[in-house]
Structure 1
């Protein structure tokens, strides 16, 4: 049992809410920054980075801008690159999924209700769907969780309170009995303020260790 997770054993947890990127699926934000620079030079160096992304990307994650509008707004900064070039650069941060991780997390059910709450956009959601189908033609991410909440579909992104409130209202969960796992401290603090049990995740760790803690041996 990892020492930093042992405290979970003493809690009354009924629900687990996972972030997706850098918790279940690896994400390398530097690859997208590098790809944008390749397309647009130095002027594109600050277009996107994990710590302080451009407001346009936050709007995309809320579903507030269309795919066409997104492409048209970043194109001038990227030397008028083609749609395909921009999408390829934007998706560069994503490399692979491990289907066995999803299968392992699925062991938590039915003892626990499990959900995904992810700040994600239509392009990356599409990439995830294709990657899942590539890993297994019959599988979809929604098959491994009780519900998947994507920010671009619910119109709110973490750390906005409304993102968590939607889960509470739709699924009737009790934050005090819900473990929320995320790799960004700002989201962890927001969840704690709403009464959730929150675990700040290190992306270098294996999320399957949480399953080992929560399930009796």
Structure 2
């Protein structure tokens, strides 16, 4: 079946976000930083904000659990924009090329509803999606829950078999494949344009 739609995850695909970009200088001690990110402000905690919990509620929950780390926990979302270091230029260039083709572009991202507007306003390439972006924090669902892909398909009347899904998380790729999407798994070595060409995408 001919590919008509190309769906991008954002973090790790188009945006370089990592809490270490802030906390490396904050702690000036890699061991302490890693302990904090693995045990106090861990990924599973941040994901609940991506699922729709407010930043303030998430912060207060963690401060209550780990009062000795209150200052560091409060610093997390206060300095979130520093963690969003930059775009990922090679992949953004591919997105811009796709914007000049007949393919339809969509976003499907695990992102807090409160922080996503900053990225939207700061990086102009998001305009290429023409508002066709499903944000986990708004939907109160996060990947890899298959329901969030179904929201995308139903909202924009898409067929998975006519769509390519691009993500850096292997679990998300696995679920997308099970739903019938063609996929590109982004790693630091991935040549996104070539991967899409291999799937039959034409850049003109």
TM-score, with structure 2 as normaliser: 0.76
Deviations 1:148-172 (A, max 9, x none): 1111012211110011000110111
What 5-or-longer segments of structure 1 have no aligned partner?
1-10, 133-138
For residue 200 of structure 1, report the CA deviation from its aligned partner: 1.0
**Please, which of 149, 162, 171 is the counterpart of residue 147 of structure 2?**
162
Deviation, structure 1 residue 140: 6.8
- Aligned residue for 1:96, secondary structure, equals strand
1:144 aligns with 2:144: no
RMSD across aligned positions (CA): 3.3
Q: Which residue of 2 aligns with 1:71?
A: 59
Q: Which residue of structure 2 aligns with residue 28 of structure 1?
A: 18
After TM superposition, the structure 1 = structure 2 runs for residues 120-199 of structure 1, keeping only pairs within 5 Å, are: 120-132=111-123, 139=124, 141=126, 143-146=127-130, 147-199=132-184
* Contact map agreement 2:173 2:184 (CA 8 A) in 1: yes
Is the CA contact 2:97–2:203 (under 8 Å) kept in the aligned structure 1? no
**In structure 2, how many angstroms separate the alpha carbons of the residues matched to 1:115 and 1:178?**
10
Structure 2 gaps, min length 5: none
Decide whether aligned partners of structure 1 residues 33 and 122 sit closer, same or farther in structure 2, where only a CA change above 3 A counts. farther
Shift of 1:31: 3.9
Q: Tell me how far apart the structure 2 counterparts of residues 88 and 204 of structure 1 sit (CA, whole Å).
A: 32
Change (3 A) 1:48 1:36: farther
Q: Distance in 1 between the 2:81 and 2:23 partners?
A: 11
Distance in 2 between residues matched to 1:173 and 1:162, nearest whole Å: 14
Alignment counterpart, residue 85 of structure 2, candidates 95, 102, 105 = 95
Q: Would the alpha carbon gap of residues 152 and 201 (structure 1) be closer, same or farther in structure 2, given more than 3 Å must change? A: same
Deviations 1:129-186 (Å, cap 9, x if unpaired)?
A: 3532xxxxxx472x21141111101221111001100011011111011000111110
- Report the Cα distance in structure 1 between the residues aligned to 2:75 and 2:165, rounded to whole angstroms: 35
Q: Is the 8 A contact 2:17 2:83 kept in 1?
A: yes
Paired residue for 2:36, among 44, 62, 66?
44
User: Residues of 2 paired with 1:190 and 1:212: CA distance?
Assistant: 22
Q: Distance in 2 between matches of 1:107 and 1:183?
A: 20
TM-score by length of 1: 0.72
